[in-house]
Amino acid sequence: MKQYFSTLWQPVNNSQLIVFRVLFGLIMTGECIEAITRGFVKQLYIDIQHNFTFISFEWLGILHGKGMYLYFIVMSVAAFFVALGLLYRFSSVLLAVMWTAFYLSQKTHYNNHYYLMMLLCWMMAFMPANRRFSADVQLKRVNARTECYRWQIHLFIFQVACMYFFAALAKMSYDWLHAMPLKVWLTQKTRLPVIGWGMRNQLLPWILAYGGLLFDLLIVPGLLFARTRRYFFAIAVVFHLFNSYVFRIGYFPYLALGLMVFFFPASLFQKVIKAPLRPAALPLYNIKGIKPVTVIIALYVLIQLFLPLRHWFIKGPVNWTEEGYRMSWHMMLRSKRGTGSFTITNKQNDSTWKIDFASFLHPSQLRNTVIHPDITWQAAQYLKEKYNKQNLNVAIYAHNQVSLNYAPPRLLIDTSYDLANTMWKRFGPNEWILLYP
């Protein structure tokens, strides 16, 4: 282990990093442009009355209105500049800040690949990914180099390993091992061109459930070894393109495939990325320079190892309570549906009335508000503030009937708790979230 750490500061060819910069920049550009053209920005930031941010980031509610079109245009330009390697340091930091703000500003459209993109944005912001095949080199803004430090390649491999390993760990649940909810999802895909007929096969959900588990467990080891690399990469291409075609999950499959460049030898990309004629030598770090960087990397690694496990320390199944669900690589593991309403009590005269979620939420917000206790709590806080402006002191009780993986609906939240006057426990458990029987 000590010998491995000593090699992390050795110079290695930077070709993989350069290739990934181009791929990542183009993928992020496409993601931002598609958010505008497909109406995502309009739906999420213009049509709604109120957006539910990550708790403690309520101030990001300022990201609202038609100005968000300009926001996503600026992000797309920054991402394209990253791909070009133009004003790279400024562009990459700007993209990281803006994407993080977007990620934290809304939860009703949470997606694991948004989280992955946020992590990669920050990683790229601190990488010397513009030292070859870039506009910055052509404009002589930076000196060309053919090398980077080994840790800068290995950090991406670690991030990919985290994603797949914890995704596999999450699949080791009763429902997934019994091919739920794939049994239902696939029956809804029978109209797909070419392969729709095969979605009716009763063995297919079981093949995909166990095949997906084995893929997540074995893909990184398979890519690490030269003898198996090409075969596992071919499997990855089939796996991710199948998911893209059947489940329509955006740019994530292509981003996942792009990350696999870090598993291939740098020599493979030499023909594509020509070395500069007179590359500058990579400076040697002294021990004083190595220590703070090593500490930062170690902290990042520990955080990435802890976050996906934090729900183990909170009582109740995470797919039900949702406590510790986000940022844990629980990808397409469950289906939840439900209905929700609030009972409002005026404490001044004991009058009571009922309000359905659908009466004050945009349809795109409705489903995730019902199935996520934290968003339900935030909705109660939103209504409390609204009634306070009318000089009403209210108690708010939630009635969420939720079905997990098409099981009979059950109460998700204890109806005796006044959510308007209940504090949210960031580290859980929140006792008003009912456990799955």
- How confident is the model over 201-246, as pLDDT tens digits? 999 999 999 999 999 999 999 999 999 999 999 999 999 999 999 9
| One domain, residues 246 and 386 | no
Cα(347)–Cα(344) distance, integer angstroms: 9
| One domain, residues 339 and 305 | no
The alpha carbon dihedral of 380, 385, 389, 392 has a sign of positive
Query: Is residue 416 one of the residues assigned to a domain?
Result: yes
User: How many separate domains does the chain show?
Assistant: 2
pTM comes to 0.94
Query: Is residue 118 one of the residues assigned to a domain?
Result: yes
| One domain, residues 249 and 372 | no
Residue 180 has pLDDT above 80, yes or no: yes
Cα(376)–Cα(392) distance, integer angstroms: 20
| One domain, residues 341 and 308 | no
Question: Hunting for tokens 């991402």 — which residue is that?
Answer: 79
pLDDT digits (tens, 9 = 90+) for 342-366: 999 999 898 999 999 999 999 989 9
Query: Is residue 323 one of the residues assigned to a domain?
Result: no
By percentage, how much of the chain surpasses pLDDT 70? Answer: 96
Query: Is residue 60 one of the residues assigned to a domain?
Result: yes
Calculate the CA dihedral of residues 348, 350, 355, 357 and round it to 10 degrees.
70
| One domain, residues 128 and 167 | yes
| One domain, residues 19 and 63 | yes
Question: Hunting for tokens 């690589």 — which residue is that?
Answer: 329
* Residue range(s) defining the domain that contains residue 379: 335-421
Mean pLDDT for 331-348 is 92
Query: Is residue 414 one of the residues assigned to a domain?
Result: yes
| One domain, residues 132 and 258 | yes
| One domain, residues 265 and 356 | no
| One domain, residues 305 and 399 | no
382 contacts: CB under 8 Å, gap ≥ 6: 50, 52
| One domain, residues 252 and 390 | no
Query: Is residue 321 one of the residues assigned to a domain?
Result: no
